[in-house]
Amino acid sequence: MTDAATSGVAKTVAPSSPGTGILLDLAGVTKAYPGVVALSEVDFSVARGEVHVLLGENGAGKSTLIKIIAGAEHMESGEYRLDGASVVRSTPARIRAIGISVIYQELSLIRTMDVASNIFLGRPKIWEHGLIRPLRLLDKKGMEAFCRNLFAELNIDIDPRSRVGELSVSEMQLIEIARAVAFQSRVILMDEPTTSIGLEEKARLFNLIEELKSRGIGVVYVSHVLEDCLKIGDRITILRDGKRVTTLRRGEPTVNELVQLMTGRTFSERYPRIESRPGEIVLEVRGLSQAGRFHGVSFDVRAGEIVGFWGLVGAGRTDVMETVFGLNAADSGEIRAFGKPVAIRTPRDAIRKGISLLTEDRKNYGILPAMSVWENILITVVNFRLGDLARTLRRVGGLLRISAARKAAKDFVRELNVRATSVDLPIAGLSGGNQQKALFARALSAGSQIIILDEPTKGVDAGAKVEIYRVLQSLVERGIAVIVVSSELPEILAVSNRVFVMKAGALTATLERDTATDEQLMHFATA
């Protein structure tokens, strides 16, 4: 084992005085695509030991700016400097080599490999650390020792021999950050780092960010969670329509002021209260259990009502909903829909009984990215031949009437205000909020009267959230029963008539919205 592998990694980052001196400096950055100016004369900088938050609605220019910094796109005009030196002819590999790392929302780790291998993956620096044995064989023990020293310095408790696929999302994020630190990154860009993690994991991430600041590393932080941005950011820059609106320092703005600056509109409430008039019980769940996941779960939902499920990550909320929808099999318990016992063994069974689920993982399990907007909206109807709409869309012999299908999809797009230039374009080209509204349209096209929403506003900006809440209001006005699983306390209290709290696979409380408080929900989720 080499000295380089065992001597620690403190040398890999040269500490400097936090908050002093500009590391990354972009001035007058402009970038246009056919028919669209993505960025116009944008200034952005990051100092040593600083967290600079980048905010804006979808389409504001954040992604384009990040791609330019990462070398994946080239600006048409402007200045790009790192530590005072001009950056020209940038490529992703060159940008990494000069000390800028990007941690995307979709993590780049290879899940079938172990942690140590991922730390060194694609990094020529492995030669400099002397971790190549004769015949060019990797020194696995040396790599693992290097990682242990690195993790110890960053207070990361992960075994370098673990397979990445067995780790949680938050642990994978820590590995991505450790990889950037190990190879002398001076600036680290984090794109939506808290989207799929809970409160404890978020606290651990924020502690690690503070450690990065103490080492003089500059952090660019992109998130839709405005409370987090106010907590973690030293400065906040807001983009709107490709232009920099303003840059504010810690303590200057409030959440509501950020919303107004991002959207150009004023919302009386970030989380508008949804009003409903519950009718008859349409879904009853009694004593539902699944070994190792949840036990004895009982609840009901009424027509025209929204019930919320809240709890910390791992509480079992999603497991329960996936079982109700037929993705998992229950060991015991009963489900009744519209007053009758139902056997739901598959999602097809659930859909035929009038139950739809909009998954938390919209990208991988919700949309069909290569298919058009209209195909995504109507795929359930076309495959399952549900109700009058399915009959309308088919000719004699079962052939699909494309013109009728496109017209039906356009009606849903108009009704739910899905912003799509054409229903024929791939749904992957829509923003997250508009993809979510298209999935609402899919549930409505299937005639669902019970809709389960798992993290319905995850990964969407402030303006899109308000539009989704308007869709929820329209659903309950139709008499549709809605179940919302959400990790956002203000959201769950605003939209729900009743809130069910879960902890460790069990229901611990049922609270009425008018009397429920943040403190109560947290108490029943943790005590």
Instruction: For residues 290 and 170, state if they share a domain.
Output: no
Query: CA 462, 468, 472 angle in degrees (round to 5)?
Result: 140
Instruction: For residues 150 and 293, state if they share a domain.
Output: no
> Domain end: 263, 293, 317, which one?
263
Instruction: For residues 211 and 278, state if they share a domain.
Output: no
Question: Residue 70 contacts by C-beta under 8 Å, 6 or more apart in sequence?
Answer: 92, 95, 100, 102, 189
Give the 3-state secondary structure of residue 21. Answer: coil
What is the C-alpha to C-alpha distance for residues 393 and 148, in angstroms, rounded to an integer?
60
> Domain end: 448, 473, 491, which one?
448
Give the 3-state secondary structure of residue 519. Answer: helix
Instruction: For residues 332 and 380, state if they share a domain.
Output: no
Please report where in the chains the tokens 């009694």 appear, as a residue.
286
Predicted confidence at residue 267, as pLDDT, reads 53
Instruction: For residues 419 and 442, state if they share a domain.
Output: yes
Give domain status of residue 361, yes or no.
Answer: no
Which amino acid type is present at position 351? I
Q: Which two tokens stand for residue 301?
A: 């939902």
* DSSP code at position 102: E
Instruction: For residues 274 and 172, state if they share a domain.
Output: no
What is the C-alpha to C-alpha distance for residues 304 and 297, in angstroms, rounded to an integer?
22
Question: Residue 349 contacts by C-beta under 8 Å, 6 or more apart in sequence?
Answer: 326, 342, 343
What is the C-alpha to C-alpha distance for residues 119 and 180, in angstroms, rounded to an integer?
9
Which ranges in 343-488 belong to alpha helices (H)? 347-352, 362-365, 373-384, 387-392, 402-415, 432-445, 462-477
Q: Which pTM value belongs to this model?
A: 0.70
Q: At 42, give phi and psi (nearest 5°).
A: -90, 130
pLDDT in tens, the chain (527 residues): 344 333 333 333 333 334 458 999 999 999 998 777 899 999 999 999 999 999 987 778 888 999 999 999 999 999 999 999 999 878 888 898 898 988 887 777 888 899 998 888 766 554 455 554 444 456 788 888 888 988 888 888 899 999 998 888 778 888 888 888 887 889 999 888 876 677 777 888 898 899 999 999 999 999 888 888 999 999 999 998 899 999 999 988 888 888 888 877 655 556 788 888 899 999 999 999 999 899 999 999 999 999 999 987 778 999 999 999 999 999 999 999 999 999 999 999 999 999 999 998 888 888 998 999 999 999 998 888 777 788 888 776 677 788 888 899 999 999 998 988 899 999 998 888 889 999 999 999 999 999 999 999 887 777 788 888 989 999 999 999 999 999 888 889 989 999 999 999 999 999 998 888 888 988 898 86
Instruction: For residues 217 and 292, state if they share a domain.
Output: no
Instruction: For residues 295 and 440, state if they share a domain.
Output: no
What is the C-alpha to C-alpha distance for residues 86 and 425, in angstroms, rounded to an integer?
39
Widest pairwise Cα distance in the chain? 77
Q: How far apart are the first and last CA of the chain?
A: 48
Instruction: For residues 424 and 378, state if they share a domain.
Output: yes
What is the C-alpha to C-alpha distance for residues 58 and 401, in angstroms, rounded to an integer?
34
Residue 447 Cα distances to 218, 373, 389, 433, 496, angstroms: 50, 18, 9, 22, 22
Strands (E), 114-197: 187-191
332-337 and 340-341: which strand pairing? antiparallel
CATH number at residue 277: 3.40.50.300
Half-sphere exposure of 455 (CA within 13 A, CB side): 20
Instruction: For residues 413 and 509, state if they share a domain.
Output: no
* Domain span holding position 273: 269-354+450-527
Cβ atoms of 205 and 175 within 8 Å: the answer is: no
Give domain status of residue 83, yes or no.
Answer: yes
Instruction: For residues 443 and 455, state if they share a domain.
Output: no
The DSSP H or E segment spanning 97 is helix 92-97
Identify the CA nearest to 446 among candidates 355, 371, 361. Answer: 355
Give domain status of residue 81, yes or no.
Answer: yes
Please report where in the chains the tokens 């037929």 appear, as a residue.
326
Which amino acid type is present at position 216? G
- How many distinct structural domains can be found in the chain? 3
Q: Which two tokens stand for residue 478?
A: 């139709």
Give domain status of residue 359, yes or no.
Answer: no
* DSSP code at position 132: B
Instruction: For residues 121 and 7, state if they share a domain.
Output: yes
What is the C-alpha to C-alpha distance for residues 406 and 180, in angstroms, rounded to an integer?
47
> Domain end: 227, 243, 263, which one?
263
Q: For the CA atoms of the chain, what is the radius of gyration?
A: 25
281-290 and 294-302: which strand pairing? antiparallel
